[in-house]
């Protein structure tokens, strides 16, 4: 049984339909990626899962429990962490304060410290910048902080929206290596990414979204070799 299952969801922004019957699933321990052009519906799909966008029809199941249209904080408490596009860190707060915001429901000082050390194990640069305000950090450091903040909740599923956006190639490599490490430690990953080659290279499976609908799916390695994918996204 899939860990996360999206069944025929439709999501609107006012009168504009963003998702048109999206269906897919994510199994425990997988990296699954959603690829597509700008405005295809990738980010809206993640927002629909996390509760940031209201689903009009269809259902979303997590661990066999329907979670459609739950408030975002409830979805987080269930074990789904969402790292939004654009990082959305608190620029006027320090690195430490940003991380503590991610641990809003974690009880016990020792548990919080253990979670923080876990984050530092993957992002040692954050430990070096602990007292620095988030808004003064580089784009790559802010992305590390955004992921670190999500990890403070000890999620079972980590949803990442465009983690490579605006980053230098060497930083992108680092971010994707960390995504692989987290997955090997047991965290299930749902990845939205415009860098289709990078995403499909690490994904177990992928789905292609066009105009709010899924038009193609398969193993990551298969989609990389698909001629249509090559022409549209890998050229």
**pTM listed for this prediction:** 0.92
47 vs 159: CA distance, rounded Å? 10
The predicted-structure confidence for 31-60, as pLDDT tens digits, reads as follows 999 999 888 899 999 999 999 999 999 999
- Identify the CATH number of the domain defined by range 4-79+155-234: 3.40.50.300
Residue 184 confidence (pLDDT) above 90:
yes
The total number of residues shown for the chain amounts to 235
| Domain residue ranges in the chain | 4-79+155-234, 91-154
- Specify the pLDDT at position 230: 80
Q: Select from 206, 154, 198 the least CA-distant residue to 180.
A: 198
How wide is the angle at C-alpha 158 spanned by C-alphas 4 and 39, nearest 5°?
Answer: 80
- Specify the pLDDT at position 235: 59
């Amino acid at each position: 049984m899939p860990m996360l299952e999206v069944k025929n969801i439709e999501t609107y922004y006012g009168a504009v339909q963003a998702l048109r019957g999206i269906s897919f699933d994510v199994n425990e321990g997988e990296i699954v990626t959603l690829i597509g052009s700008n405005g295809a519906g990738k980010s809206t799909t993640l927002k629909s899962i996390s509760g940031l966008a209201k689903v009009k029809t269809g259902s979303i199941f997590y661990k066999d429990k329907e979670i459609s249209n739950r408030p975002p904080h409830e979805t987080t408490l269930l074990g789904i962490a969402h790292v939004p596009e654009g990082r959305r860190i608190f620029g006027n707060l320090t690195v430490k304060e940003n991380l503590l915001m991610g641990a809003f429901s974690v009880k016990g000082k020792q548990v919080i410290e253990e979670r923080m050390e876990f984050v530092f194990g993957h992002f040692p640069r954050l430990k070096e910048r602990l007292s620095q305000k988030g808004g003064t950090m580089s784009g790559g450091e802010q992305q590390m902080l955004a992921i670190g903040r999500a990890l403070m909740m000890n999620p079972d599923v980590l949803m990442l929206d465009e983690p490579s956006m605006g980053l230098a190639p060497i930083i992108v490599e680092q971010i994707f290596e960390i995504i692989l490490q987290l997955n090997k430690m047991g965290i299930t990953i749902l990845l939205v990414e415009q860098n289709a080659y990078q995403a499909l290279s690490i994904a177990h499976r992928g789905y292609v979204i066009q105009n709010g609908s899924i038009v193609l799916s398969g193993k990551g390695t298969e989609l990389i070799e698909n001629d249509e994918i090559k022409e549209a996204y890998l050229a």
